């Protein structure tokens, strides 16, 4: 059975370590950029810079990277040596791109510089481009295959993630997915029954997870069905080991 109600975001930017999870190589793809922090439709701050300038406000102002938007990027393409009035040229190009006036014959220059995007979406695209799930099976899958073999129901390979849905045992089905960078997400157990049997299976599941060191406060019901997601920060090897114990 395919995993339902999948969370599509590859990362939760609020919980990452800035210096290790967002490489400088990504920031460099933005060139000279303009950014804004926008929360619940309210513009909190607008700035400009290069490198990881935009992320510094997380520490200095207490902002959340999940509220960061890139308004314009690679503005160095508007070369001052090529055009003396480059300052007004940038503004003109931005306004034409933003409002598409009907009587302008020229549609503006470097339109892709002004494609406003959420920072997390740009980063997701970058991370996906650094990995190719279709080239070969990842090392974590190959090294753990003896614990996976014969227990899988569905393996779904996408450009940015691999989804593993196991067979059902005693009306309980484990599943999880792994990002292209090897980070496990959505590690959960579905209980496919109802009534008195549901409570019995739920108690059985929680007892098992507790034996693996996962306390009830780290288990959260998600979606409209009986899906119970483990919220602990686990490695992909640990997730596979827990499921291996479940089937043993």
- For residues 122 and 161, membership in a common domain is answered with no
The CATH number given to whatever domain includes residue 147 is: 3.90.1150
Q: Would you tell me how many other CB atoms lie within 10 Å of the CB of residue 237?
A: 14
Give the residue from 98, 130, 162 where a domain finishes.
130
What pLDDT does 20 receive? 44
Report whether 42 contacts 83 (CB < 8 A): no
Residues 144 and 125 in one domain: no
Q: Among 130, 162, 188, where does a domain finish?
A: 130
Whether 155 and 239 map to the same domain: the answer is yes
**Distance between CA atoms of residues 50 and 149, nearest Å:** 47
Same domain, 71 and 155: no
**pLDDT tens-digit profile, the chain (248 residues):** 344 333 333 334 443 444 446 888 899 999 999 999 999 999 999 999 999 999 989 888 889 999 999 999 988 888 766 667 777 878 888 888 777 788 777 666 777 788 888 998 888 878 777 666 566 788 899 999 999 999 999 999 887 789 999 999 999 999 999 987 788 999 999 999 988 899 999 999 999 999 999 999 999 998 888 999 999 899 999 999 999 999 99
Query: What confidence score (pLDDT) does residue 132 get?
Result: 63
| Three-state secondary-structure class, residue 79 | coil
Predicted model pTM? 0.51
What is the H or E stretch that residue 184 is in? Answer: strand 184-191
The pLDDT of residue 147 is 95
Assess whether 91 and 125 both reside in one domain: yes
240 lies in a domain? yes
In a shared domain, residues 159 and 221: yes
| 159 and 87 fall within a common domain | no
CB of 32 closer than 8 Å to CB of 51: no
User: Does residue 7 sit within a domain?
Assistant: no
In a domain, 1, yes or no: no
157 and 240 fall within a common domain: yes
Structural domains of the chain, count: 2
The three-state secondary structure class of 46 is: strand
Residue-level pLDDT at 112: 77
For residues 155 and 187, membership in a common domain is answered with yes
pLDDT of residue 136: 72
Query: Distance between the two ends of the chain, CA-based, in angstroms?
Result: 21
164 within domain boundaries: yes
Assess if residue 6 is contained within a domain: no
Q: Does 223 lie in the same domain as 184? A: yes
- Residue 15 pLDDT: 39
Q: Given 97, 130, 163, which residue is the final one in a domain?
A: 130
Residue 10 has a pLDDT of 38
Residues 20 and 124 in one domain: yes
CA distance linking residue 25 with residue 63, whole number of Å: 22
pLDDT of amino acid 6: 38
Could you give the 3-state DSSP secondary structure of residue 85?
Answer: coil
Cα separation of 29 and 208, whole Å? 46
Domain coverage including residue 18: 13-130
Q: Examine the domain organization and report whether 75 and 149 are in the same domain.
A: no
8 falls within a domain: no
**Looking at residue 1, what is its pLDDT?**
38
**Cβ proximity of 174 and 127 under 8 Å:** no
130: tokens are 């650094």
């Amino acid at each position: 059975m395919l995993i339902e109600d999948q969370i599509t975001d590859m990362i939760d930017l609020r919980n990452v370590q800035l210096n290790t999870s967002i490489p400088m190589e990504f920031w460099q793809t933005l060139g000279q950029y303009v950014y804004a922090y926008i929360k619940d439709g309210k513009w909190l701050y607008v700035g400009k810079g290069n490198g990881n300038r935009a992320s510094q406000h997380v520490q200095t102002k207490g902002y959340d990277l999940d509220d960061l938007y890139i308004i314009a990027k690679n503005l160095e393409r508007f070369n001052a040596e090529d055009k003396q009035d480059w300052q007004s040229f940038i503004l003109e190009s931005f306004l034409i791109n933003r409002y598409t006036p009907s009587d302008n014959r020229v549609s503006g220059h470097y339109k892709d510089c002004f494609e406003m995007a959420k920072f997390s979406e740009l980063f997701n695209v970058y991370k996906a481009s650094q990995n190719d799930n279709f080239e070969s099976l990842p090392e974590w899958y190959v090294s753990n295959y003896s614990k996976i073999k014969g227990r899988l129901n569905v393996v779904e390979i996408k450009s940015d993630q691999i989804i593993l849905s196991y067979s059902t045992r005693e009306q309980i089905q484990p599943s999880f997915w792994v990002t292209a960078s090897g980070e496990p997400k959505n590690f959960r157990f579905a209980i496919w029954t109802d009534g008195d049997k549901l409570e019995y299976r739920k108690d059985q599941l929680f007892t098992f997870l507790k034996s693996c060191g996962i306390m009830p406060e780290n288990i959260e019901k998600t979606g409209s069905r009986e899906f119970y997601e483990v919220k602990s920060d686990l490695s992909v090897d640990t997730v596979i080991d827990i499921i291996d114990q479940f089937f043993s």
